[in-house]
Amino acid sequence: MLMSPMPIALPARPAEAHALDIARALLVADGHAAGGMKVICTTAGRGQAAFELAELHPAAEVTVWFLDLFPQAAAVAAWESPPPGLHAVCAADVPPGPYDLAVVPLSKNGEAELSRDILQSAFLQLAIGGRLVAAIDNAHDNWLREQLAETGETVRVRPAAADDTVAYIVEKTREPTKIRDFSCEFVFRDRDRLLTAVTRPGVFAHRRIDPGARHLLNAVDVAADTRVVDIGCGSGCVAMGLAARDKSVHVHAFDAAARAVECTRRGAAINGLDNLTVALECAGNVPEPGSYDLALANPPYYSDFRIAELFVEAAYRALAPEGTLLIVTKQPTWYLENLPLLWQGVAREEVKNYHLIEAVRA
């Protein structure tokens, strides 16, 4: 069984706590007007800023936006008696506004292009007169301030007393004239066909086909009428490549990241792949479990292989008896030690700096 997120309430990380303090002060200063406000928040953890703002102003509508189902589920599980005005949304883009307040905590170690995209998206959804509160866990920050200055609005600085974060306030006085498109289309080849993939910041892998995905495509031959599941599909290059080889092959791809699902769907539409279906999914559920012939996965290496374990469990449920699991990884040891407990015919092939792990469902 896939493990559900534990309902553990955690303190906000420093940047989110600082942004919350600034946002709380702004709402208190607004007084009675805060009751009818619309607030959008991102989070570096479990939506703590959104939760506290919704508690402070029960009549306000507070939405916390997630790009991935896993942190959304963990946040919701940790909320005890959430305020009625609090909403958690997992979507590829900021839920449509207009908002009176946007609260965006960022990490100095975060992906720069994704941070720019989130800042721009939040600012665009503000009403005229709305304010953006952005904070970062770097007291000596210049980068975030420069990004906010590109809006053309006045940037007010709010350093933290603890000298470990800095926050900024930007009031939107007009619609921006310069809007950047962070999405990307690129072409890749699978055998005799050129395919177009769509990626966005936060999607694995942005602006390119990942080498691991390329190794998976090169390693797989699919017969007619094969049913394939692509677990953690990312931008969908593997799913699209296999679906393009034979119209009788059915490929079902899923990912917990909303943007990955959106990009894979767009890629399927661009390439005319009616035999590719896509779902936003974090529990590993698939249509008609136990009916697939082949499961493919390129799991991330972090979380002490817990995500890899979730991928393997999802594959086991999706595959028919004697169905094949094929994983690409740079760290094969965990798979070679654990797969033989439930799988047959576990084998490894090294390709350059990657390892292809094959196993058969008992």
Tens-level pLDDT at each residue, the chain (362 residues):
344 444 556 899 999 999 999 999 998 887 655 568 999 999 999 999 999 999 999 999 999 999 999 999 999 999 989 999 999 999 999 999 999 999 999 999 999 999 999 999 999 999 999 999 999 999 999 999 999 999 999 999 999 988 799 999 999 999 999 999 999 999 999 999 999 999 999 999 999 999 999 999 999 999 999 999 999 999 999 999 999 999 999 999 999 999 999 999 999 999 999 999 999 999 999 999 999 999 999 998 877 899 999 999 999 999 999 999 999 999 999 999 999 999 999 999 999 999 999 999 99
Task: Output the pLDDT for position 34.
Answer: 59
348 three-class SS: strand
Residue ranges of E strands in the chain: 38-41, 61-66, 86-90, 99-106, 126-136, 155-159, 166-171, 184-190, 193-199, 227-231, 250-255, 276-280, 292-297, 319-329, 343-351, 354-361
Task: Output the pLDDT for position 4.
Answer: 44
Rg (CA), the chain: 22
| Distance in angstroms (rounded) separating the CA atoms of residues 298 and 72 | 22
Q: Are 165 and 138 in contact (CB under 8 A)?
A: yes
Query: Residue for token digits 């959106």?
Result: 262
User: Positive or negative CA dihedral for 50, 110, 259, 79?
Assistant: negative
User: Positive or negative CA dihedral for 179, 270, 328, 340?
Assistant: positive
CATH among 3.40.50.410, 3.40.50.150, 3.30.465.10, 3.40.640.10 for 14-171: 3.40.50.150
Name the residue ranges covered by the structural domains of the chain. 14-171, 184-361
Whether 14-171 and 184-361 share one fold: the answer is yes
Architecture of domain 184-361: 3-Layer(aba) Sandwich (3.40)
Quick one: tokens of 327?
């994983």
Task: Output the pLDDT for position 33.
Answer: 59
